[in-house]
C-alpha cells in the first residue's frame, strides 16, 4: 500500500507541477491572469481591563478578539484583457466573515456567498472611461478590508461604521491627468447579494491629485425587530474626504473625515495618519481619531448618554517591519470615551481601555 501510495503521489505531484508550469507560461505569454492574496493572524490582550470570557474591546471591526486569533485568508483572481476583465476576491476566516456580514442574506445558513468579498466585471470603454458591474469594496474612507493595504492593523471607528461594500454599476471618468470622477447606482449599503426592496443608493467620487471627496445618498434597506422589511426609511446622506500628503521621502500624512446622517441622527469623525519610514524595512505610524454619535445614530457603538449622544478618541501606535513578503505589526491602542463604555480590571464600567497586539501578515 505504501509503495502504491508513493507512486500515485508522484504522478499527482508531477501532473500538478506540469499544470502549474503550463498555466504560468500561458499567463506570462498572455499577460491576462494574475493570482494574489494574503493571510493574517494576531495576538491581542487588554491592559487594565478584563480578558477571557469577560473581555471587552473597542467597537471597531476585525482586531477585537483576545488571545491568539485568526484573521483571514484572502485569494484574488484577476483577469485583465485589453478592453474587459474581472476580479474575484474570496475570503475565509473570521475577518472575512465580518467583512461580508450582510452577504448571506439570501442564504442565511451560509453558502458560497459568505466567502465573496468582491466579484465584478469591467469594460474599458475608452482610455478615459471604465464601466464596472458587480460587487466591489466601498470607495469611501481611508482604510480598507484587506490588512495588507492598511498601515494600522486594528481599524478606525469611521471605517467600521461607514460602508464596507456595494453592489451596482459605476462609471469612472479620467477627466484630466489630475482630475477624476466616479458615478454609481447601487443597492443599499452592504446588501451585496441582491436588492430586497427596490431601494437604490447613488454614489459620487471626485478626485484631484490624490485627494478624494466622496458622497453617498439614498434610502437604505432596514428591518424591524421581527425581521420584516420597513417600507419607508428616510434617505441616508454621507460625505467623506480621504487624502494624504508626502512631506518627504520618509514622512507621509493621511487624512480622513466623514459625516453620516439619516433623519437628524448619525455620526461624524476625523482622523490623522502620520507615518515615518525609519529604514527600508521598518516604519512607524500613529492614528489619532475622534468619532462622535448623535441622536442614537449608531445605538450600541459607544456609550451613549440620555440624549443618545457620545464620542470617543482613539490613539493607535503601530510599527511595521517587513521581512520579504511577511509584515510584522506590533501595536498599542488606547480608546477614551465620553461615557462608561468599557470595563476595568474589577469589571466596573470605565471610560477608557488600553490594549496591545502583534499581527503577522503574509502577502503574495
Q: What is the pLDDT of residues 223-236, one digit of tens each?
A: 777 777 887 788 99
C-alpha 208/C-alpha 197 separation (Å) is: 36
With cell 480622513, the residue in question is 256
What are the residues facing 239 on neighbouring strands? 215, 259
Q: For position 134, what pLDDT does the model report?
A: 98
Question: Mean pLDDT throughout 4-16?
Answer: 41
Distances, alpha carbon 24 to alpha carbons 17, 27, 30, 34, 363, in Å? 10, 5, 10, 9, 19
pLDDT band per the 50, 70, 90 thresholds, residue 2: very low
How many CA atoms are closer than 13 Å to the CA of 174, on its beta-carbon side?
11
Least confident of 54-68, 138-152, 277-291: 54-68
3-state secondary structure of 173: strand
Question: Mean pLDDT throughout 156-161?
Answer: 96
Q: Please report the beta strands in the chain, taking only residues with DSSP state E, as ranges in sequence order.
A: 33-47, 67-80, 84-92, 116-124, 129-137, 165-174, 179-186, 201-208, 211-219, 235-246, 251-262, 265-277, 282-294, 310-323, 326-337, 342-343, 349-350, 352-363
Q: For position 16, what pLDDT does the model report?
A: 46
Rounded to the nearest integer, the mean pLDDT of the chain is 88
37-70+129-363: CATH topology is Porin (2.40.160)
Question: Mean pLDDT throughout 276-285?
Answer: 97
What are the residues facing 20 on neighbouring strands? none
Q: What is the pLDDT of residues 90-137, one digit of tens each?
A: 999 999 999 988 776 666 666 677 899 999 999 999 999 999 999 999
Residue 248 in grid coordinates: 518627504
Is pLDDT above 60 for 12?
Answer: no
3-state secondary structure of 114: helix
Q: What is the pLDDT of residues 191-249, one digit of tens each?
A: 888 898 899 999 999 999 999 999 999 998 887 777 778 877 889 999 999 999 999 99
Comparing C-alpha atoms, which of 117, 33, 48 is closest to residue 351?
Answer: 48
Q: How many CB atoms lie within 10 A of CB 124?
A: 16
Q: For position 109, what pLDDT does the model report?
A: 63
C-alpha 100/C-alpha 277 separation (Å) is: 33
Q: For position 27, what pLDDT does the model report?
A: 47
For residues 359 and 337, the answer to whether their CB atoms sit within 8 Å is no
Question: Mean pLDDT throughout 299-324?
Answer: 87
Q: For position 307, what pLDDT does the model report?
A: 81
Residue 28 in grid coordinates: 506570462
Q: For position 224, what pLDDT does the model report?
A: 75
pLDDT band per the 50, 70, 90 thresholds, residue 30: low
**DSSP notation for 202-254:** EEEEEEETTEEEEEEEEE---B-TTSPBPS--PEEEEEEEEEEEESSSSEEEE
Q: What is the pLDDT of residues 291-306, one digit of tens each?
A: 999 988 776 567 778 7
- pTM of the complete model: 0.87
More confident residue, 23 or 131: 131
C-alpha 340/C-alpha 352 separation (Å) is: 8
Task: Measure the N-to-C terminal CA separation of the chain; round to a whole number of Å.
Answer: 37
More confident residue, 71 or 8: 71
3-state secondary structure of 103: helix
How many CA atoms are closer than 13 Å to the CA of 137, on its beta-carbon side?
16
With cell 464601466, the residue in question is 131
Is pLDDT above 70 for 150?
Answer: yes
Amino acid at each position: 500500500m505504501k509503495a502504491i501510495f508513493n507512486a500515485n503521489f508522484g504522478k499527482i505531484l508531477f501532473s500538478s507541477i506540469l499544470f502549474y508550469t503550463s498555466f504560468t507560461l500561458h499567463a506570462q505569454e498572455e499577460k491576462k491572469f494574475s493570482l494574489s492574496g494574503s493571510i493574517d493572524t494576531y495576538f491581542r490582550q487588554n491592559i487594565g481591563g478584563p480578558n477571557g470570557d469577560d473581555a471587552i474591546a473597542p467597537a471597531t471591526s476585525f482586531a477585537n478578539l483576545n488571545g491568539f486569533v485568526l484573521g483571514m485568508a484572502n485569494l484574488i483572481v484577476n483577469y485583465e484583457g485589453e478592453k474587459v476583465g474581472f476580479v474575484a476576491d474570496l475570503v475565509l476566516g473570521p475577518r472575512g466573515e465580518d467583512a461580508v456580514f450582510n452577504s448571506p442574506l439570501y442564504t442565511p445558513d451560509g453558502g458560497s456567498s459568505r466567502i465573496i468579498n468582491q466579484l465584478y466585471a469591467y469594460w474599458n470603454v475608452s482610455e478615459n472611461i471604465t464601466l464596472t458591474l458587480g460587487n466591489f469594496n466601498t470607495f469611501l474612507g481611508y482604510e480598507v478590508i484587506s490588512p495588507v493595504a492598511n498601515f494600522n492593523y486594528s481599524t478606525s471607528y469611521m471605517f467600521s461604521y461607514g460602508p464596507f461594500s456595494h453592489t451596482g454599476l459605476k462609471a469612472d471618468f479620467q477627466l484630466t491627468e489630475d482630475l477624476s470622477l466616479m458615478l454609481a447606482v447601487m443597492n443599499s449599503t452592504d446588501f451585496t447579494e441582491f436588492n430586497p426592496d427596490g431601494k437604490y443608493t447613488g454614489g459620487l467620487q471626485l478626485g484631484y491629485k490624490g485627494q478624494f471627496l466622496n458622497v453617498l445618498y439614498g434610502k437604505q434597506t432596514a428591518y424591524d425587530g421581527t425581521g420584516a422589511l420597513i417600507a419607508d426609511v428616510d434617505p441616508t446622506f454621507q460625505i467623506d474626504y480621504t487624502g494624504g500628503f508626502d512631506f518627504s521621502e520618509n514622512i507621509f500624512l493621511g487624512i480622513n473625515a466623514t459625516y453620516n446622517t439619516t433623519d437628524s441622527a448619525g455620526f461624524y469623525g476625523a482622523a490623522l495618519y502620520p507615518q515615518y519610514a525609519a529604514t527600508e524595512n521598518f516604519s512607524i505610524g500613529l492614528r489619532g481619531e475622534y468619532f462622535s454619535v448623535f441622536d442614537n445614530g449608531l445605538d450600541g457603538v459607544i456609550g451613549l448618554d440620555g440624549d443618545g449622544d457620545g464620542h470617543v478618541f482613539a490613539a493607535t501606535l503601530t510599527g511595521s517591519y517587513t521581512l520579504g513578503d511577511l509584515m510584522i505589526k506590533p501595536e498599542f491602542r488606547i480608546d477614551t470615551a465620553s461615557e462608561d463604555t468599557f470595563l476595568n480590571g474589577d469589571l466596573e464600567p470605565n471610560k477608557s481601555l488600553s490594549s496591545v497586539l502583534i499581527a503577522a501578515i503574509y502577502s503574495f
